[in-house]
Amino acid sequence: MLPELPTISLPAINLEWFAKALVYILLFGFIVFAGFMWREVVLGSRVLTTKATPLARFMAGFLFFMVLGFSVLVVYLLW
Amino acid sequence: MWYTSDMTGERLTNKSAAKASSTTVPTIKVPRRAVKKTSAHETFSDLVFKPKSIRFQHQNDDEHMLMLVREHIVVLFSRMFSTLLLAIVPFIFLWLYRFIQSRGIAIFDITNNWWLVAVVLWYMMLICTVFKQFTDWFYNVNIMTTQRFIDLDFKTLSGYNVKETPLMKIQDASDTHGGPWQMIFDMGNLTIYTASDKTTFQLPNVPASSQVRDFVMDTVIAYTDKFKSEDIINAP
């Protein structure tokens, strides 16, 4: 006779909490990604200097702060 | 039609050829495509010969840039276009959601805040992707100078690598055209082989690849001859 299997009770998953956590992780990823892109442009403009260097640096910085701003907006919406 | 390397658009006459041969820098023929470029176009161009407004790190004082080549600009536009096409996805999703709701099937209920969050995240991702595609295209360049051939490879999350070889070590160059797009837009995959077995330069989707290959080999031959003649002159 087989032994009786233990009953596993899963905790109830709060979907909203789960979705919020996912969004926060995504936001963190976006901020890191935008930071790395800014870094790439700074490094790239050191290696290759063109007339567009100031514009490229400005655009990369702008993108980083735009991502940061949108992240704050998203956090505010989900708070 | 071919022009002299000073890019003035002057045809190679006997007089100008004699003048060019009297200088210490070898005269290399530059494709006509390059003559049309002005300094304003140099920055965002996929193929530039003898750029005046571009410099690279650790460029020697006596070193001049002969050619800068990136992937064909059509490749960048096609990548950006396919990314921007994804901008309509939220509208399609919204339409589907309303369509399902109108049928009386309530799978899930989405509040306005969540809609806004999803749309903001989606467009943020698209903007970041488009910018990444541009920077990848812009900073992945191959440079040919009067002394060496340099390959710059930038990767957003994993840094960059720089590969270079002196002109004298370049042995062969081959270009292949594959697929309809490469035939239509006159681009090809260029491979430059060096004396080292391990070092090859792979240049995918090079604009006017046969002209670039020809330019590379002409330059290598001209400068190798120059170096050899200088060695003979300077020999004790």
Residues B191 and B130 grouped into a single domain:
no
Question: Given CB atoms, is B127 within the 8 Å cutoff of chain A?
Answer: yes
Average pLDDT over residues B101-121: 80
Q: Indicate the number of domains in chain B.
A: 2
Q: Are B66 and B145 in a shared domain?
A: yes
In this structure, the answer to whether residues B215 and B161 fall within a common structural domain is yes
Question: Model's pTM, two decimal places?
Answer: 0.79
Residue of B nearest to A52 (CA): B43
DSSP secondary structure letter of residue B150 = E
- Asked if B2 has any chain A CB less than 8 Å from its own CB, the reply is no
In the predicted structure, residue B188 carries a pLDDT above the cut 50: yes
On whether the CB atoms of residues B38 and B22 are closer than 8 A, the answer is no
Predicted local confidence at residue B102, as pLDDT: 84
| Residue partners of A36: CB distance under 8 A and separation at least 6 | B156, B157
Q: Which of B96, B111, B134 is the last residue of a domain?
A: B134
Residues B60 and B147 grouped into a single domain: yes
Domain of residue B84 covers 76-134
- Regarding whether B56 and B33 lie in a shared domain, the answer is yes
For residues B85 and B62, state if they share a domain: no
Summarize pLDDT for B57-101 with one digit per residue, the tens: 889 988 889 999 999 999 999 999 999 999 999 999 889 888 888
Q: What are the respective helix, strand and coil percentages of chain B, to the nearest 5?
A: 45, 25, 30
- CATH code: domain of residue B12: 2.30.29
Kindly identify which residue of chain B lies nearest to residue A57, measuring between CA atoms: B135
Q: Which B-chain residues 25-64 have CB contacts (< 8 A) with chain A?
A: 42-44, 53-57
Is residue B103 located within the same domain as residue B194? no
Per-residue model confidence as pLDDT tens digits over A27-59: 999 999 999 999 989 988 888 888 888 999 999
For residues B221 and B151, membership in a common domain is answered with yes
